[in-house]
Amino acid sequence: KAGVTQTPRYLIKTRGQQVTLSCSPISGHRSVSWYQQTPGQGLQFLFEYFSETQRNKGNFPGRFSGRQFSNSRSEMNVSTLELGDSALYLCASSLDGIGNQPQHFGDGTRLSIL
């Protein structure tokens, strides 16, 4: 069974640009969550999608947005990039995001802002 797939693995952008990251969950998983990992702030929850609806949202500015498609694949978009957005962005999926179903993580997308 394939794991969580994130593309691209590495990305370099400049300030002011926007970026879209993609996440394909494990087959059958309907909950997809996104996290930002930085050396200073650690792992922080961005948002969670379930059945194409945002179910939970972390404390990030509106420049960070996401969506989920009918096949459960998810995309995350960051607009007007800032230097502080440089981070590893991790996607995680689970069957339904509730109960005793743990999340499974992808290897992440490393975003560097110049």
Closer CB to another protein, 14 or 27, in the complex: 27
Closest CB 40 distance from another protein, rounded Å:
10
Gap between the Cα atoms of 67 and 29, Å rounded: 15
Q: Contacts by 95-98 with C-beta closer than 8 Å and gap 24+?
A: 95/28, 95/29, 95/30, 95/31, 96/30, 96/31, 96/50, 97/30, 97/31, 97/33, 97/48, 97/50, 97/55, 98/31
Tokens 């069957």, residue located:
95
Stretch that binds another protein, among 16-24, 60-68, 70-78, 98-106 (CB under 8 A): 98-106
Site for another protein in 3-42 (CB under 8 A): 4, 31-33, 35, 42
Stretch that binds another protein, among 17-25, 66-74, 78-86, 91-99 (CB under 8 A): 91-99
Gap between the Cα atoms of 54 and 111, Å rounded: 23
Stretch that binds another protein, among 19-27, 45-53, 62-70, 73-81 (CB under 8 A): 45-53
Gap between the Cα atoms of 54 and 16, Å rounded: 26
Residue 106 touching another protein (CB under 8 A): yes
* Binding site residues, another protein, CB under 8 A: 4, 31-33, 35, 42-45, 48, 50, 55-56, 58, 90, 92, 94, 97-108
